[in-house]
Every structure is written in structure tokens, then in C-alpha cells.
Amino acid sequence: MSMLSNGVSGLNAANAGLNAVSQNVSNAAVKGYSRQTVVLQTNDGALNGVKVTKFERVVDNFLNADIWRTQSDLNYYESYQDYLGYLEEVLGTDSLNLNDAVADLSAAFNAALSSPESPAYRQQVISSANAMVQDLQQLDGALTGLVRKLEFEMKAVTDNVNSVLQELADLNQKISKEIALGRDAGTLLDTREQAVNRLSAFMQVDVMQEDNGSINISALNGAPLVMSGKAAVLSVAGTQVTATFNTQQFSISGSAGGSLGGLLRVKSEVLDPARAELNNLVTGIADKVNAALTNGFDLNGDLGLPLFTYNAADPLGSILVNPAMTQDKLAFRGNAGGVPAGGVGDNSNLVKVIDSMKGVASGYDGLIGKLAIQSKQVQASVKTAQVLNDKAVASRESISGVNRDEEAANLLYYQQLYQANAKVISTAGQMFDTLMTMF
């Protein structure tokens, strides 16, 4: 190849380098942009100049995977903490504290010891029982509301996942086509990475690169989510999440990760156990008080009625003060072998009722303490996940992000390369003119 041709090839290479620099600088503030470099290669043969092989995105798939994993962890713990923290706050609210409500009822029973036949004291017992039931109903409403909110949020998350999965399938097709035609797919590849970022916030995924430029995405349990140009569709029923790919269905409820996984786990690890413990507390309180009262006699000389009623299938959501209970039917009088132990002023069974209430709400403090410990642990996990995600993003930016100082140096380098090759071309022209004057 002639000196002139070598110079032209070098000029083209320098021009390509300048284009790469300008592209990087103009996109320096674009989130998710991967800087590009020009790949140069010596032309075949001896002294044949240089050729531009391709424009290449500077990416590290390992660093991208680290971002996706840490993003998933962060959203998992944040979603978990949203519900855990709220439940801890509700149960710890002074106005809804079950210990206080039980203490008030016990105090009302104790006040009646001095005058068990007094209508005022008896009404205070019924009023305190109603107040306790009202607190339990509010706790039930808070728990029920959290579950409904969780189910609504899960539906919204799965809708977002479906949208991103279809977007990724479409991008796969576009990228494969561009690569097959030998065209630059850098912008599409950046867009796809950002889409995977969004997906990883919703659920943790495994990503595999294919030779044709597309990626395959699966859930942690291997359920296919995106294969080439096809995407799965997620559906949710209650807290059960199913991925349908073609005609096959895969449950991913136990292996979702991300915000979806956090929502699933908070249901099974926080909301359901909390309701179970509150149900146990409700039945414990109601059963012990009822058992004591139904063993005594009321002012009319009749066997006592239970103070509380509830549905065993849902104690917290159904407990009520017995509608048949009135002041005169509170059984404070003792039982002497099937007959009242004394007159209307007898309080021997009332003493037993009071004894039955000792420690009945002790598990409530344990529940609050357990939630507080869980909340502290999850908050620490949120902070750790945030640090790891920030570090992962920073690591990617150090490789794939645009460094203006570096681009300024590259700009100077390619300018000098351009000028040098222009000088070669100029010199080649002068040599040609000199040779022509010799004839």
C-alpha cells in the first residue's frame, strides 16, 4: 500500500476515535450509558495501514450482575421493612396496647370487689370489656389492611414485571437483528441493561448471554422469564405468584427475591405469625375469663354467662362482648355445689375471675419485642444492601462510565494522530509532486 493510502487509513482511524470521544462526552450525563472505544487493527499484509474493526462498548458483565443482585437484595429488605416497621408501630401504639386494655378490664373487676352488686361497677366491667374488644378490632383492621395492601402491591409489582419482561423480549429481537446486519447496537444494549436493572428491583434473576446478542432470563428456581424474543407472564392469586411461559406454568412464590420476594416473605414470616399469636392471646383471655364467670352465679341466682364470644376460626376478627350480657348477669357470686355461695354481695367468684386474668396478656410484650428485633435486623440489612449496591454501581461506573479527564486525553491523542496522518498525506503529496517534476 502506498504512503498516501496509509495516511488516509490513519486519518480515518483518528476520525473514528474522535467520533467515539464526542459520543462519550455528549452522553456523559446519560444514566446507564456505557462508554465506547474504537477498536483498531493493522490491515492485512505488510505496510498496509490501519483499519477500524468496530466501536466497542466498555462493559463488564460481572459488574452488571453484581448490580442486579445487590439491587434485588436492597429492594427485598426495603419491601420487607415497610410492612414490618408499620406493624411494629401499630402494635406498640399506646392507644392500642393490649396490655393496657387487659389491665383496665382487670382494674374494673378489682373495683367491683368492694361492692359486687353495684350497677356502676358492673357497668364499668362491661364498658372495659367493650373497650378491649374495640382495641382488638382495630388491631384486626390494621392487620387485615396490611394484607390487602400487600396483595394490591403484589399485583402492581407483577404487572410491572410483565411489562419489563415483554420490553426485554422486544429488545432481544432488535439487538439480534442489528448485530446480524453488522450495525451498532450500543444504544439498544444500554437500554436493555437498564431494563434488567428495573427487573432486578422487582425480583432476583439469572441472566445468560447468547452468541446472537440476546439474553435469556430466569427466576432463581430456574423458571424461564425471557427466552430470545418470548416473555413469560406472571400472575398472582393472593400471595401465590405463577409464571406462565408458552403453556407451561412455574410457581416462583418461594424464590422471587427483589421487592416481590420481600412482600411474599413478610406475609409468611411477619403478618401470618403475628395474627396467629394475637389469635392465641384473644382465645387465652376470652377462655379464661369465660370459664371463671360461667362457674359462678349472677345477681338473679342463675349460672353465669360467658363475657366474650368469638369464632374459633378467626378469634381476633370476631371477638365481641356477649350480646346477652347485662349488668345483673355478671356472675360474681361463688358456686357452692350448684347453688350460689352467698348473697348478692358475695364476691368469691369475682376473686377467681381476677386470678384468671393474671398474665393473660404477657405474650403481647413478647410479640412486640420479637417484631422490634426483626425490624432492627432488617434495618441493618437495608443499610448493608444499600452500601453494597452503591459499591457495585460505583465499580461499574469506574469501568463503563465516562471519565471527562480521560476523554480529554483521548481527544488530544486522536487530534495529534489526525494531524500526524494529515502530515503523512501532505508529505506523500509533496513527494509525488517532486517526482513529477523530474520527468
The domain limits of the chain are: 3-58+404-434, 64-75+154-261, 98-144+263-367
pLDDT tens digits along 391-405: 999 999 888 888 888
Q: Which residue has the higher pLDDT, 121 or 412?
A: 121
Q: Is the pLDDT of residue 4 over 80?
A: no
pLDDT at 14: 80
Does pLDDT of 10 surpass 90? no
The answer to which of 167-171, 235-239, 420-424 has the lowest mean pLDDT is 420-424
Of 178-187, 226-235, 317-326, the poorest mean pLDDT is in 178-187
In this model, does residue 37 exceed pLDDT 90? Answer: no
For position 189, what pLDDT does the model report? 92
Predicted confidence (pLDDT) at residue 45 exceeds the cutoff of 70: no
pLDDT of residue 432: 67
Q: How far is CA 104 from CA 101, 249, 293, 351, 357, in A?
A: 5, 54, 18, 16, 11
> What confidence category does residue 32 fall into, taking pLDDT thresholds of 50, 70 and 90?
confident
For residues 11-22, give the mean pLDDT: 80
- Give me 206's grid cell: 439469572
Q: How far apart are CA 80 and CA 266, in angstroms?
A: 6
Residues in the chain: 439
What is the model's pLDDT at position 347? 95
Distances (CA, A) of 205 to 161, 200, 225, 250: 12, 6, 9, 14
What is the structure's pLDDT at 46?
66
The pTM score is 0.85
Q: Give residue 433's pLDDT.
A: 66
Amino acid 35: pLDDT: 86
Most confident of 27-41, 155-169, 240-254, 421-435: 155-169
Share of the chain above pLDDT 70, in %: 97
In whole angstroms, give the CA distance from residue 13 to residue 2: 17
Q: Using one digit for the tens of pLDDT, what is the confidence trace for 255-302?
A: 789 999 999 989 889 999 999 999 999 999 999 999 999 999 999 999
Q: Is the pLDDT of residue 226 over 70?
A: yes
pLDDT greater than 80 at residue 54: no
pLDDT at site 436: 66
What pLDDT, on the 0 to 100 scale, is given for residue 435? Answer: 66
pLDDT for res 407: 77
Confidence of residue 439 (pLDDT cuts 50, 70, 90): low
Cell numbers for 89: 408501630
Answer whether residue 53 shows pLDDT above 80: no
What is the distance between the alpha carbons of residues 132 and 129, in angstroms, rounded to a whole number? 5
